Structure 1
């Protein structure tokens, strides 16, 4: 019968929505010796190997007209055929059932197959699971041959599809997991009891322990006093262990267990036997980018941070300086019992070159070293004991920082410096090069104080200022306002480089190491001095004339 337009449209829409990997329903429209022909409403019928429709006894378990679940492998292969798989659909259904059973505790049925190391292989539908020998029966049994080839009920302990790992327990199914049984088990347990259990599952956060019909959680922090990354470092599935009951929540039916609580807390001994400042020989247990973990005692680790490894290198690469298993002497720097942390140091067990340097050298002492590196802010010099001192750029020359050229200094060159300061606590040594010579700026000011008239040569001139060279590494500044009492429009109209001038020192800028000059002040001073000289000379002249006249008059009178 031909399909209507609506039916064709619906079929087209359906085909557009399906994708490879999806589970769909298909009709069995024919069965041949080699294939089952299925119709799923797609572009073509699909021929699926007949073995996918047989039970373990080899019998075909479907008939024409039956509906079956299948997985779409390809909507259209290279030959225009649709490829479907019933086996994959059955596997998906089985996995879904098993994963659900781990959460709900549902019982599943499976066929116990051949015995392998540690247990049995169990076929559940079309998926193989592992039955550990310890989970075969309620009580340990020696003879298990009678179980092979028989069907039995199981509880699913673990179903991890990513690793294709399924673990089942026949013992748990025999015990049952009813609320009545759980309640009875809980009533028999007390906090502090030591009980035996079987490890049924391991997770990142701990281990689930089968206590015989009731599961308890052994958290990863309660497995060992020593820090571990995963429970599998200490535990194995199906292993029998003794644990201590830490707490019981009757309302939620939860039991918290502890393994390390069966041993003495090593931290109690640590507090008694170790104190800050004590040295101890420890073994490196782990190496990270930020430091070395050292085993102090069984179950206790301390950390040597990278900054506590070497006196002369605050950031060494731990992987290049040590190996796991090396024994190293360390000093205990800190103990935090609440956080269970111990801070250790290696360099504290070695001579401190900074302290040694401070004891053998003094400030204002001259010292020679090799240039280790040159930066924008100064020069690092390697000194005795492998430590570095810094010549800050401001201590290289008496010139202004922006005028200092470090290109004259080369790495590995020997250089003489003066020790300016030593701080062994902060591990800093300040050095100076310019301090080897007297300060020409201060020397010049000492010889030429304020209000002194000095001579100099113009080295630079612009519209408003002239830079005057007064002496070696000593400069003066003449501003346009200090040229004359008359208005000057442009300095360059009256001054040229290399011109010699005379000016008066009117001030100085210690920060910029510049002496302020004034021609105007010089001229004003000279005028004032000339005026005072003139007045003095005139006064003396008047005084002399008056006295002469008096003497002459007196002489005339006496003569008469």
Structure 2
């Protein structure tokens, strides 16, 4: 050190002499020109005495020895590759390892002339070297600040450096511990998100000897929340619009922090439209604007609304969607009875399954539409007071039943593919969505059909005649047998009454036997017309498939009946035999012939009456 006064072991007397000599020199140098008068008066020398005292203080300070562990302020006087030399006002400079001045990049953050706080680590009397530490001085200062913050109820700032068991390690100048339960007001789902963030903390307790410090962020947050809560409760009122932060999300709504006071935004008050789950619209931490619907300050219950910030769309729905107007909407939901279509946010209409198609019988709306699909529809009815709109899809296109009778008038021959076969008939595709029914009774004029599948199968192409169209009941009747003339219309021409015919027994019953005269044409021989003898069971005499000869007794084309008789044919044969016998015998006595004819005539009359 320049002009340094070294302690060379001389006693106090020698030091006094040096001081006196310095004083004499100073007094001799003072001249009238310098503005000082030399006087024997001691009072006039008071300024010089003060200067001497100051000089003595400086001299004594040069021999002052700081305590080890004491923090002092010094000035950097030089830097080399290993050490930084710091003047702390002692007879020799102190040195600090250069690494204590390097930053994260390894660069030295110091220059000559900078003031720096250092701690005296130890003295090397032999080498007359003072070992100093900048880092330890900073730590001592930190501990002093920690003590002050703890005593005064203050706070400290720090950075969470990493996770440890039970919480976090925090750098506040020294390492401190933040328990997980003290990190926030609520349990933290992802603890790693907090690492690297800076926060303000309260000191719960510390032990300097053990270097143990326990911090809390939750205490600060609770104080802030309580202050915000008091302010919120003082200003909150029904109808007020205010901002909040989404705190929690449930299936029935969203809890919003209004500033120390939580309110519930119920799912039904989020939007005029359909909301399946609040998580579709919100995330924890979102800032939203809500309206106070109701509040109970005693129970601290606050009901919130978002949809109330906009007008109810149903208030103008009747004007926007009049009956018969055409709309386009998105299918948002399907039920067994129909599909709900969103016309705009908050307004949905129902398309009933019966209003989805003119021709198809829709069992479930999923067969026609799907969720998310855009559809065109017509407004059938609207009731804003009930918040209901009835829609129709089929009304968007013309009703095919309105033109079907013009396209296919009665008597028209059509050709189509069999789409379905039932017990009662065939369904034939006519136009898209329109099927015609051929009833089982209209398949054949003559055949007895137990089931249509005996003759046809699904997919067969057939021709039929349009018999009837009922637009109101949406029925289209067809006939296959009508493609040909009814054979019963001319049966009287082919089978005269009294004509002898031959046929095959097709069925035997208690009341007679059925005989097929031609394909589809049958006659009945009643049990009383089978024989002159009384027959109880026709099956005793005939079998199905037997060929018989009978006489046509009567024909009823309207009722499709032909009456046959075997007995009459046999009686005619008997009468013919008798006539031949009489003719061969020649003239007979009148008495015998008359008697025979009378008996025969009576017998025939009896038989005729019995029928």
TM-score, L = length of structure 2: 0.51
Maintained 8 Å contact 1:282/1:295:
yes
Report the equivalent of 1:460.
506
Corresponding position of 1:174: 226
Give the SS at the match of 1:150: strand
Shift of 1:265: 1.0
Question: Is structure 2 residue 252 aligned with structure 1 residue 205?
Answer: yes
Aligned to 2:549: 500
Q: Secondary structure at the match of 2:239?
A: coil
What is the aligned partner in structure 2 of residue 14 from structure 1? none
**Could you say if the C-alpha distance between residues 395 and 320 of structure 1 is closer, same or farther in structure 2, counting changes exceeding 3 Å?**
closer
User: Are residues 299 and 113 of structure 1, via their aligned partners in 2, closer, same or farther at CA, if it must alter by over 3 Å?
Assistant: farther
Whether 1:123 aligns to 2:172 is no
Q: Give how far 1:502 is off.
A: 2.3
Query: What is the CA distance between 1:230 and its match in structure 2?
Result: 0.5
Question: In the TM superposition, what are the counterparts of 1:70-149 in structure 2 within 5 Å?
Answer: 123-124=180-181, 129-130=187-188, 145-147=199-201
Change (3 A) 1:354 1:403: same
Give yes or no for contact 2:348–2:389 (8 Å, CA) kept in 1. Answer: yes
- Following superposition, the deviation at residue 478 of structure 1 comes to 3.6
CA distance in 2, matches of 1:385, 1:358: 15
Aligned counterpart, 1:331: 378
In 1, the alpha carbon distance for the partners of 2:538 and 2:350 equals 70
Aligned with 1:364: secondary structure? coil
Residue 470 of structure 2 corresponds to residue 423 of structure 1: yes
What SS does the corresponding residue of 1:129 show, helix, strand or coil? coil
1:70-118, Cα deviation, whole Å (9 max, x unpaired): xxxxxxxxxxxxxxxxxxxxxxxxxxxxxxxxxxxxxxxx967789xxx
Contact 2:551 2:568 in 1 (8 A): no
- 1:434 matched to which residue of 2? 481
In the aligned structure 1, how far is the partner of 2:169 from the partner of 2:311? Answer: 45
Please state how far the C-alpha of 1:228 moved relative to its aligned partner: 1.1
SS in 2 for 1:236: coil
**Cα distance in 1, alignment partners of residues 183 and 285 from structure 2:** 24
Residue 328 of structure 2 is matched in structure 1 by 281
Secondary structure class of the residue paired with 1:383: strand
> Residue 430 and residue 461 in structure 1: after superposition, are their counterparts in 2 closer, same or farther (change >3 A)?
closer
Take 1:130 and 1:390, find their aligned partners in 2: how far apart are those partners? 71
**CA contact 1:333–1:345 (8 Å) conserved in 2:** yes
Residue in structure 1 matched with residue 38 of structure 2 by the alignment: none
Aligned ranges 1:187-226 → 2 under 5 Å: 190-226=237-273
Residue 407 of structure 1, CA deviation: 4.9
Per the alignment, residue 345 of structure 1 pairs with 392
Whether the 8 Å contact between 1:111 and 1:150 is mirrored in structure 2 is no
Q: Does 1:261 align with 2:308?
A: yes
1:226 is displaced (CA, Å) by 0.9
What is the distance in 1 between the residues matched to 2:572 and 2:342? Answer: 84
Distance in structure 2 (CA, Å) of the matches to 1:408 and 1:356: 32
Specify which of 212, 216, 221 is matched with residue 151 of structure 1.
216
Aligned-residue CA RMSD (Å): 4.9
1:277 is displaced (CA, Å) by 1.7
Distance 1:521 1:216 in 2: 106
Q: Is the Cα contact below 8 Å between 2:529 and 2:567 reproduced in 1?
A: yes
After superposition, the C-alpha distances for 1:248-268 in whole angstroms (9 at most, x for unaligned) are: 467866433221111111122
Query: In structure 1, the residue corresponding to 2:547 is in which secondary structure?
Result: coil
Specify whether residues 482 and 212 from structure 1 end up closer, same or farther in structure 2 by C-alpha distance, changes over 3 A only. farther
Q: Larger C-alpha radius of gyration, 1 or 2? A: 2
1:111-135 deviation line (CA, Å, top 9, x unaligned): 67789xxxxx971399992289xxx
**Number of corresponding residues:** 384
Q: Distance in 2 between matches of 1:189 and 1:454?
A: 112
Deviation at 1:455, TM superposition (A): 4.7
- Provide structure 2 residue ranges, at least 5 long, that are not aligned to the other structure: 1-165, 172-177, 203-213, 575-593, 595-611
**Which secondary structure does the structure 2 equivalent of 1:438 belong to?**
coil
Kept in 1, the 8 Å contact 2:550–2:565? The answer is no
Find the counterpart in structure 2 of residue 360 from structure 1: 407
CA distance in 2, matches of 1:260, 1:455: 92
Deviates more, 1:384-393 or 1:247-256: 247-256
Does the C-alpha gap of structure 1 residues 454 and 406 become closer, same or farther in structure 2, counting only changes over 3 Å? farther
In the TM superposition, residue 218 of structure 1 has moved relative to its aligned partner by: 2.0
Q: What's the CA shift for 1:219?
A: 1.8
Greater mean deviation of Cα atoms: 396-405 or 378-387: 396-405
Describe the shift of the 1:493–1:269 C-alpha distance in structure 2 as closer, same or farther (beyond 3 A). Answer: same
Aligned-pair CA distance for 1:150: 2.9
CA offsets 1:24-52 (integer angstroms, 9 cap, x no match): xxxxxxxxxxxxxxxxxxxxxxxxxxxxx
Aligned twin of 2:438: 391
Cα distance in 1 for partners of 2:279, 2:249 equals: 7
CA 463–428 in structure 1, closer or farther in 2 if over 3 Å, else same: closer
Q: CA deviation at 1:417?
A: 0.9
Is the 8 Å Cα contact of residues 182 and 216 (structure 2) preserved in structure 1? Answer: no
Q: Please state whether the residue corresponding to 1:363 is helix, strand or coil.
A: coil
| CA distance in structure 1 between the partners assigned to 2:179 and 2:344 by the alignment | 45
Map 1:11-26 to 2 at 5 A: none
SS in 2 for 1:267: helix
**Alpha carbons of structure 1 residues 442 and 521: separation in structure 2 relative to 1, 3 Å:** farther
CA–CA distance in 2 between the matches of 1:113 and 1:421? 91
Residues 284 and 324 of structure 1 are in contact (CA less than 8 Å); yes or no, is this contact kept in structure 2? yes
Aligned in 2, Cα 1:445/1:506: closer, same or farther, shift over 3 Å?
A: closer
1:272 match: secondary structure: helix
